[in-house]
A and B are shown apart, each in its own frame.
Chain A
Amino acid sequence: LKVIIRTLMVLLNHPDFILMPLYDGARVVVSRSFADFTPQASFDIKKCDVHRLEEGPPLKAELTREQGLQYYRIMQTVRRMELKADQLYKQKIIRGFCHLYDGQEACAAGIEAAINPSDHLITAYRAHGYTYTRGVSVKEILAELTGRKGGVAKGKGGSMHMYAPRFYGGNGIVGAQVPLGAGIALACQYQGNDQVCVTLYGDGAANQGQLFESFNMAALWKLPCIFICENNQYGMGTSMERASASTDYYKRGDFVPGIRVDGMDVLCVREATKFAADHCRSGKGPIIMELQTYRYHGHSMSDPGVSYRTREEIQEVRSKSDPISMLKERMLSNNMASIEEFKEIDVAIRKEVEDAAQFATSDPEPPLEELCNHIFHNNPPLEVRGTNPWVTLKSVS
């Protein structure tokens, strides 16, 4: 009996096992993964408009149960992390700029699902989602937002300046990241490593001159660069119609082929990104993707986000096109997962974010000794003038 009980305890504690009641009050332990769940399904995805291309991404996407749960987990984590940041900002624990990504999760999740960890990615300042998908923990992201030494940039970067291997931030100057991304793609081509660089920008940045300079050089030299316009319809408080003479952002590359993608559907984003990556890897040069998406928050935490758009509009997107709900409904209606499973994932994420916030609020700020460090790389220590001539500070690499 002891053996039976011990075995049962082991099984009961395993996350994949649930107890299912059977007839006559007897209980049998079953494995979740070979229950009635559909292991894989095919979904129709919206057709992408194309520019200078014979054909676009496929109209169907395959999704396995594992993938679905993973995408759900990723998007929900980003969602809850951003909402936690909102909370912390209102409590004045996060200060300065804070540009939140909730509503756009399908973009970050879909792109990451389509590229390799060895590929490269760079984006602008609405970067927390990508920082997560590129491998930084919620804990290190929130601690960076709260300016603590446990932050991914030791508290020295803040919201717009988070980095990871193959993730080049987080960039504060609108549009400046686009030539940088083309340069990263040049390095990939130069090194012959078959990698691509995903270079993101917004509908606001789409009018920047340096973008067109980048498109020109990328096309001229056939750089493996996927330029992605995350069109969330507003550049700060200015709608795209008020800022752009042409709002067909996927066509703005002129001689650079483009596709327009439903950015609220993680599968659509994934398929389009795969298509784009194949295009680049086959040596055809750059390609532009316009992801039609939406942000629930205002431009930043200083912007309530309702002076230039209606609450009805925001609510409509939330109810009809929320990326997380859409994925969840797809999986539920195809019996790929259960409501309980999603609830469990939500609970686990809530805890992860809560723990991260706990860390982010309790971790100490960086020590003052850190102030002048990281000016130069591989450099002998140097002296830095302080605020007055009697203060000389030390800087190490």
Chain B
Amino acid sequence: TFRVTVRDALNQAMDEELERDERVFLLGEEVAQYDGAYKVSRGLWKKYGDKRIIDTPITEMGFAGIAVGAAMAGLRPICEFMTFNFSMQAIDQVINSAAKTYYMSAGQQSVPIVFRGPNGASAGVAAQHSQCFAAWYGHCPGLKVVSPWSAEDAKGLLKSAIRDDNPVVFLENELMYGVPFEMSEESQSKDFTIPIGKAKVERQGNHITLVTHSRYVSHCLDAAAVLAKEGIECEVINLRTIRPLDVESIETSVMKTNHLVTVEGGWPQYGVGAEICARIMEGPAFNYLDAPVTRVTGVDIPMPYAKILEDNSVPQIKDVIFSVKKTLNV
């Protein structure tokens, strides 16, 4: 196996896809000569040059629109938002110009584009730089929304996203960039992809299902390790994709464990966990629940700055453990 950070896995994915298809190109702020604000695109400009790796001015609405136009005219752009907070400036282009066009044109005009960048809370960057957009983009038909956790997720899903002929919002996580993961032999193949829309069971268990995405997969696995010592076996499901949501995988697990806890970094109201609750109620798994579904979410406030406040604004491992026990009534 290979020990690779999420950052390097993303870099590998882009490098391989740039090499494979000359229509693929990357644009965004600092992606070229600076090697990427978070160094995700390190080395790519040196290898591919100005034509394929483009530094843009700080004009999100403009360059996101340019990226969408380029996709309409036959290229396959990767549009990087330095963080997804800045995508709000460009969100009209993502939704109205990219997501809806295939439908409005009755299949005549496709938009093969990837919007990627770090999403959600970071460390000490305060309210305007810490929002999670999974629920915002996950709401919209015409988009695929992906949220990788591990290095293997990052590489396989980004390659799939780039090869997908539709607009894909690819939500990375800054705090995960430097985390190393073991990557499988097959993940080193240049054609290794992970299908969009399928969740992965990261840990098997019989007592309770934990459904989560991105950084909180780590939290759930850590919580599961602690709970295992007390004899509680958690099944941890890594969503990998927010839209389309793999409800079947969740249902299959819940029908086995009878208990469900969702864990996410975003705000609770109208969030990913809220959607999972609604979908469970509408399907066969509802009758298997021995307790209502519990949502573990970020606190419903703008992100504060002071460390003690910030730490208490997002789910911690102890919150997951507490919620599991409450749900199991132990």
Q: Which residues does A use to contact B, with CB under 8 Å?
A: 120, 122, 153-157, 161, 163-164, 168-169, 171-173, 176, 178-188, 190-191, 197, 209-210, 213-214, 216-217, 220-221, 373-379, 382, 384, 389, 397
By Cβ-Cβ distance, the 9 closest A-B pairs, closest first, are A183-B69, A179-B65, A213-B62, A187-B73, A180-B69, A183-B66, A213-B59, A154-B106, A377-B110
Which of B70, B92, B107 touches A184 (beta carbons < 8 Å)?
A: B70
Q: Among A163, A209, A376, which residue has the most Cβ atoms of chain B within 10 A? A: A376
Which of A197, A389, A397 touches B107 (beta carbons < 8 Å)?
A: A397
Q: How far is the CA of A315 from the CA of B107 in the complex (A)?
A: 42
Q: Is the CB of B105 within 8 A of A157?
A: yes
Q: Is the CB of B107 within 8 A of A373?
A: yes
Asked whether any CB of chain A lies closer than 8 Å to the CB of B270, the reply is: no
In the complex, which residues of chain A have a beta carbon less than 8 angstroms from the beta carbon of B56? 217
Q: Is the CB of A377 within 8 A of B106?
A: no
Which of A161, A214, A374 touches B65 (beta carbons < 8 Å)?
A: A214
Smallest CB separation, A215 vs chain B (Å) = 9
Q: How far is the CA of A361 from the CA of B166 in the complex (A)?
A: 34
Tell me the chain B residues, 15-67 only, with Cβ under 8 Å from chain A: 25, 51, 54, 56-57, 59, 61-67
Smallest CB separation, B185 vs chain A (Å) = 28
Which of B66, B68, B75 touches A217 (beta carbons < 8 Å)?
A: B66
Given A168-B72, A188-B73, A217-B63, answer yes or no on A157-B104 (Cβ-Cβ < 8 Å). yes
Smallest CB separation, A196 vs chain B (Å) = 12
Q: How far is the CA of A219 from the CA of B71 in the complex (A)?
A: 20
Q: How far is the CA of A154 from the CA of B166 in the complex (A)?
A: 20
| B282: nearest chain-A partner, CB-CB | A389
Which of B65, B75, B141 touches A178 (beta carbons < 8 Å)?
A: B65
Which of A154, A163, A188 touches B109 (beta carbons < 8 Å)?
A: A163
Given A179-B65, A213-B61, answer yes or no on A173-B96 (Cβ-Cβ < 8 Å). yes
Given A179-B93, A183-B66, A216-B59, answer yes or no on A153-B108 (Cβ-Cβ < 8 Å). yes
A-B contact pairs, 27 of them (CB 8 A): A156-B103, A156-B106, A157-B104, A157-B106, A161-B104, A163-B105, A164-B108, A168-B109, A171-B97, A172-B96, A180-B68, A182-B69, A183-B71, A183-B73, A184-B72, A187-B70, A197-B73, A213-B57, A220-B57, A373-B107, A374-B105, A375-B103, A377-B102, A377-B107, A377-B112, A379-B165, A384-B141
| A215: nearest chain-B partner, CB-CB | B62
Asked whether any CB of chain A lies closer than 8 Å to the CB of B292, the reply is: no
Which of B68, B104, B109, B141 touches A183 (beta carbons < 8 Å)?
A: B68
Question: Can you list, as one digit per residue, whether each of B129-159 has a CB less than 8 Å from chain A (1) or not (0)?
Answer: 0000000000001101000000000000000
Q: How far is the CA of A397 from the CA of B25 in the complex (A)?
A: 25
Q: How far is the CA of A213 from the CA of B165 in the complex (A)?
A: 27
Asked whether any CB of chain A lies closer than 8 Å to the CB of B74, the reply is: yes
Asked whether any CB of chain A lies closer than 8 Å to the CB of B244, the reply is: yes
| A383: nearest chain-B partner, CB-CB | B244
Which of A155, A172, A190, A209 touches B61 (beta carbons < 8 Å)?
A: A209
Q: Is the CB of B165 within 8 A of A179?
A: no
Q: Is the CB of B166 within 8 A of A182?
A: no
Q: Which residues does B use to contact A, with CB under 8 Å?
A: 25, 51, 54, 56-57, 59, 61-75, 92-93, 96-97, 101-110, 112, 141-142, 144, 165-166, 244, 282
Smallest CB separation, B104 vs chain A (Å) = 4
| A160: nearest chain-B partner, CB-CB | B104
Q: How far is the CA of A133 from the CA of B61 in the complex (A)?
A: 29
Q: Is the CB of B59 within 8 A of A217?
A: yes
Q: How far is the CA of A169 from the CA of B110 in the complex (A)?
A: 13
Q: Is the CB of B102 within 8 A of A376?
A: yes
Q: How far is the CA of A197 from the CA of B72 in the complex (A)?
A: 12
Q: Is the CB of B75 within 8 A of A187?
A: yes
In the complex, which residues of chain B have a beta carbon less than 8 angstroms from the beta carbon of A161? 104-105
Given A216-B62, A217-B56, answer yes or no on A374-B106 (Cβ-Cβ < 8 Å). yes
Q: Is the CB of A163 within 8 A of B66?
A: no
Q: How far is the CA of A239 from the CA of B76 in the complex (A)?
A: 40
Q: Is the CB of A183 within 8 A of B142?
A: no
In the complex, which residues of chain A have a beta carbon less than 8 angstroms from the beta carbon of B107? 373-374, 377, 397
In the complex, which residues of chain A have a beta carbon less than 8 angstroms from the beta carbon of B66? 179-180, 182-183, 186, 214, 217
Q: How far is the CA of A230 from the CA of B92 in the complex (A)?
A: 23
Given A173-B96, A176-B92, answer yes or no on A120-B102 (Cβ-Cβ < 8 Å). no
Q: Is the CB of B102 within 8 A of A153?
A: no
| A179: nearest chain-B partner, CB-CB | B65
Which of B63, B74, B141 touches A187 (beta carbons < 8 Å)?
A: B74
In the complex, which residues of chain B have a beta carbon less than 8 angstroms from the beta carbon of A168? 69, 72-73, 109
Q: Is the CB of A375 within 8 A of B142?
A: yes
In the complex, which residues of chain B have a beta carbon less than 8 angstroms from the beta carbon of A190? 25, 51, 70, 75
Q: A153-B108, A179-B61 are in contact. List 10 more A-B contacts (CB 8 A).
A: A156-B103, A156-B105, A163-B105, A180-B66, A180-B93, A213-B57, A214-B65, A377-B102, A379-B166, A389-B282
